[in-house]
Structure 1
Amino acid sequence: MNRVDPLLLGEDLTAQLARLDMGGLGCVELLEQQLAAITASQPILNAYVAIDESAARAAAADSDARRKAGQARALEGVTIAIKDNLDVAGMVSTAGMATRRDAAVAVRDSTAVARLREAGAVIIGKLNMHEAALGADNNNPHFGACHNPHRPGFTPGGSSGGSGAAVAAGLCSAALGTDSMGSVRIPASYCGVVGLKPSWGAISTHGSVALSHRLDHVGPLTRSARDLRRLLPVLAGFDPASAQSRSITMLPTSTGPLRLGIVDFGDAVHCNDDVAAEFVRSLDVLFGLGHRRVDLPAPAFPPGHARRAGLLVCEAELLVEHRHDWQHQRDRFSPMLAKLMSYAEGRSAADLVDASRLLDRAQVQLQQWLAACDVLVTPTTPQRAFAFADAVPANQADLTGYANFSGNPALSVPMAVGEGELPLGLQLVGRVGDELRLIALAEAFQHATRWQPRLPAASHSWGMS
């Protein structure tokens, strides 16, 4: 472990790229330090399910050669880790499921992974996730629980829990996740990193194991908001191979003050007191930057109703996505996942239409809020990360689900919590194509709070600080 530099591993992707650009750091050296950190942390965090070290080393060596020849691409030599429901050529996409553990390896990259490779990124491996992406604690019964690097024994969130944990622990320069009702933003909130769910269709989902064609989004997790400026142009773009892909025009960043919408959720969403207090302090920071508050009415119906409708849509689509395995090896689905899918199996077509229409109502609700403001601001999650021994809160996705139901972009940025406290996320939601505005606002918030990326204090337990 004497090769591991915790300061380097704690830096964001932008800073690591700057080191590579200046020649003071080699691509192979960066990879080797991250591989050593993965080896040290894996028994504690279990963030990865597979690593192709030889392929990663070959890619890093190629990146060093390109840099030496003056042919560096946008992401030359930084490492990206991939949630295990996105195809990486030569690796199995398990989607966290026992039924897919022995599936054939992918013959080609998913579109998002291919775009990262084309930009020079080194694909380091596949990340742990909640089984079938239907859940938000990442207590995976087949591959083991992935732990929060700020407090092992606690959830990193999900379903992209391995993505949040790996980024927070410095085990990659950035990661890809998927988000159907908050699965990028919830782990970003719990792990103290940044997570972006872009506009629906902006980043292709082609080459993924689907949870819901209506709700699925691919999104990056990073250690800073500014990293998203590096990744989004690489990842976004119309993909004719994907029925869900759209050509999204990214709107320019605003220079003037914004109208920030604050919803009166009342009793519709129960936020823990500590979350509510941190949220108020974060709003003070935003208003101190010159932005204006717009108070918005309570939702027309509790967001939990839409969340449950979204779950039914996902459960029903899993019956189609995994039809063969459900018919022939149902015993390899965990009892919890089998229960959820069996529930959908007993619903009627009319029930599914009712659920879809309720999601439409949630979409209209968000559109009405955004008609009165520029950016909607909420806590990302109503609670901090919790112990695996505790009951899973039903309302984890109550605040994140709206942006999936509507297809609007949403971003989670860490709030400035006290020393030793578990992280919390601040959610920013914008209109379709407003990703750059959200990123700029998140950057300004991080600058105002003097936030700096660094490894969690708990990393000393695996020899990294």
Structure 2
Amino acid sequence: MSEAAIPSIAELRRAIATGRRTVDEALDLQREAFGRGAALHRCVVEHAHASQPVARAPLSGIAMAHKDVFHTGLRAAGQGRPSGSQAGATTAAASAALQRLAAQGASYLGALAMAEFACGATAENPHFVAPLNPLDPAAAVGGSSSGSAVAVAAGLCRASLGTDTAGSVRIPASTCGVVGFKPGPGAIDARGVSPLAPSLDTVGVIARSVSDAAHVFAALQPDEAPLAQCLASPEGIEQALSRHRPWRVASALDQPDLRDDVAHRLGRFESRATSRAVAWRRIALRGLEPLSCLAQVVLHVEAALTHAHSARHALDSLAPITQAIVLPGWAVPAAWYRHAREARAAWRDAFVAAHLAQADVLLLPSLPRGVPDARAVTTTADGFDPRELVALHRYHAFANYLGLPALSFPVGTDARGRPVCIQALAAPGNEAGLLAFGHQFAATASPLLH
């Protein structure tokens, strides 16, 4: 990972609170880093005009850029499409999330690259040059929140909002060695965010650290929420995350499809972490295959409905990967979709009872085969390997279907020096506990996090 010139959100807040930096000095630092790295990493699609932040708000002096799926009020989300191809491009109201961040003092740096219409697990998008992975230019960048992960990993900003429908926050975060946080459905207001599959879509955060992600998540919560109240002081979030908890952990890290060097790194993490938990037990992961199938049914049908106009009137302009997600939805029997929707609550209750009734978190691999080469997951490349592409999203989509909060973070590197990440899941509504687990267990787990 590139060396971060920008201090953490907590550090910036402390510096501003104690007078070591002014808000303008902090913003100048972040704007300079963003402008300097944008062209190098090919992750920025539009630079925002500088605006005056709300004075004396919790995030005054903090600047972020976000996936180009959020309407800004001045510009409709580009959604990874060519300029001018989106109807109503200047009329959409600003998204609720961006409005909330602005009210909390945060400044907006610009829009970041993404897969077309948020379709796909990689940065592949024929309309734009693919962003480069800051850790290794030959390595893949996950999707669809590709630009957000690259910008954060490259040190262009400390955090970025993305969206996660089947892993689109956690996958790119894992390929770039940063934190990916997908809260439960509705935990972050999605009004003004371009949809893909509405019952799966979740606004999430990609960040340099769990603390950074928690600051952004807290700023997006209602004022009365306990985590939001912790924003009142610069130390409040990290104090809440660091509070001692008697952790009960269910581990399903030992999966049969792990590459050997990934398995070795996950085993080392598990060996270190077990001593810090009150209870740590290995469990068998149940229901992954049927849950993944149900998630795919919902994804294809809802994506087909969302993008019906484009499929009918501009099909030839759609990327092949977009077509591969949208078009199958028209062939899915209505009864399959109805069953997938009606069975969801029962599957969620059964999964939580089996895996989280006696545990605060469930641990899974994020990328079981590690971070692949970009050519191995680029469908038009000579070295394309479908198995590598499938491995990117194998452990992610079911969490969206079940509505479980999920957090991915690196725990070390593989034999090629690329990040190895785990994914932690929690029961519905336990986002604060999940962030606390990540903060305590990721803080010293990997040199990639700083």
State TM-score, norm by structure 1: 0.83
1:193 to 156, 163, 178: 178
Q: In 2, are the aligned partners of 1:130 and 1:138 still within 8 Å (CA)?
A: yes
1:290 to 274, 277, 281: 277
Give 2:159's aligned residue: 174
Deviations 1:397-445 (A, max 9, x none): 2222232112121111221337971112221111122122122221211
Shift of 1:256: 3.8
Give 1:18's aligned residue: 14
Shift of 1:298: 3.7
CA distance in 2, matches of 1:172, 1:218: 18
CA distance in 2, matches of 1:123, 1:255: 35
Give 1:342's aligned residue: 327
Give 2:402's aligned residue: 406
One-letter identity of the residue aligned with 2:428: V
Deviations 1:177-217 (A, max 9, x none): 11112111112211111121112211111111111221111
Give 2:268's aligned residue: 281
Q: In 1, are the aligned partners of 2:183 and 2:431 still within 8 Å (CA)?
A: yes
Give 1:377's aligned residue: 363
1:84 is the counterpart of 2:72: no
Give 1:210's aligned residue: 195
Shift of 1:83: 0.9
Shift of 1:355: 4.0
Q: In 2, are the aligned partners of 1:377 and 1:427 still within 8 Å (CA)?
A: yes
Shift of 1:93: 0.5
Q: In 2, are the aligned partners of 1:86 and 1:209 still within 8 Å (CA)?
A: yes
Give 1:351's aligned residue: 336
Q: In 1, are the aligned partners of 2:139 and 2:374 still within 8 Å (CA)?
A: yes
Q: In 1, are the aligned partners of 2:180 and 2:409 still within 8 Å (CA)?
A: yes
1:119 is the counterpart of 2:116: no
Gaps in structure 1 of 5+ consecutive residues = 67-71, 239-246, 455-465
State TM-score, norm by structure 2: 0.85
1:396 to 392, 397, 404: 392
Q: In 2, are the aligned partners of 1:360 and 1:405 still within 8 Å (CA)?
A: no
CA distance in 1, matches of 2:34, 2:293: 36
CA distance in 1, matches of 2:57, 2:227: 22
1:93 is the counterpart of 2:77: yes
Corresponding residue SS for 1:277? helix
Give 1:462's aligned residue: none
Q: In 1, are the aligned partners of 2:57 and 2:104 still within 8 Å (CA)?
A: yes
Shift of 1:58: 2.6
CA distance in 2, matches of 1:125, 1:99: 15
One-letter identity of the residue aligned with 1:445: F
CA distance in 2, matches of 1:255, 1:26: 33
Q: In 2, are the aligned partners of 1:248 and 1:433 still within 8 Å (CA)?
A: no
One-letter identity of the residue aligned with 1:372: Q
Corresponding residue SS for 1:424? strand
CA gap of 1:365–1:164, structure 2 versus 1, over 3 A, is: farther
Gaps in structure 2 of 5+ consecutive residues = 229-239, 377-384
CA distance in 2, matches of 1:40, 1:153: 22
CA distance in 2, matches of 1:260, 1:278: 18
Corresponding residue SS for 1:212? coil
Give 1:457's aligned residue: none
Give 2:351's aligned residue: 366
Q: In 2, are the aligned partners of 1:299 and 1:365 still within 8 Å (CA)?
A: no
Shift of 1:40: 3.9
1:258 is the counterpart of 2:244: no
Counting only pairs closer than 5 Å after superposition, residues 216-231 of structure 1 correspond to structure 2 as 216-231=201-216
Q: In 1, are the aligned partners of 2:261 and 2:414 still within 8 Å (CA)?
A: no
One-letter identity of the residue aligned with 1:181: A
Higher deviation after alignment, 131-140 or 32-41? 32-41
Shift of 1:325: 2.4
Shift of 1:354: 4.1
Shift of 1:76: 0.4
Deviations 1:270-293 (A, max 9, x none): 222222211111112221213321
Q: In 1, are the aligned partners of 2:132 and 2:141 still within 8 Å (CA)?
A: yes
Q: In 2, are the aligned partners of 1:47 and 1:166 still within 8 Å (CA)?
A: yes
2:301 to 316, 319, 341: 316
Deviations 1:311-335 (A, max 9, x none): 3322222222222222222221112
Counting only pairs closer than 5 Å after superposition, residues 148-159 of structure 1 correspond to structure 2 as 148-159=133-144
CA distance in 2, matches of 1:168, 1:286: 25
Counting only pairs closer than 5 Å after superposition, residues 29-40 of structure 1 correspond to structure 2 as 29-40=25-36
Corresponding residue SS for 2:408? strand
Corresponding residue SS for 1:157? coil
Shift of 1:304: 4.2
CA distance in 1, matches of 2:320, 2:80: 14
Q: In 2, are the aligned partners of 1:149 and 1:156 still within 8 Å (CA)?
A: no
Deviations 1:108-156 (A, max 9, x none): 3211111100000001111111121121111111122122111123222
Q: In 1, are the aligned partners of 2:218 and 2:227 still within 8 Å (CA)?
A: no
Deviations 1:159-183 (A, max 9, x none): 1111111111111131001111211
CA gap of 1:447–1:327, structure 2 versus 1, over 3 A, is: closer
1:46 to 20, 30, 42: 42
Q: In 1, are the aligned partners of 2:76 and 2:92 still within 8 Å (CA)?
A: no
CA distance in 1, matches of 2:289, 2:392: 10
Q: In 2, are the aligned partners of 1:77 and 1:120 still within 8 Å (CA)?
A: yes
CA distance in 1, matches of 2:90, 2:298: 28
Shift of 1:7: 5.0
Identity, in percent, stands at 28
Counting only pairs closer than 5 Å after superposition, residues 120-135 of structure 1 correspond to structure 2 as 120-135=105-120
One-letter identity of the residue aligned with 2:81: M
2:258 to 271, 279, 282: 271
Q: In 1, are the aligned partners of 2:409 and 2:423 still within 8 Å (CA)?
A: yes
Q: In 1, are the aligned partners of 2:262 and 2:414 still within 8 Å (CA)?
A: no
CA distance in 1, matches of 2:295, 2:83: 24
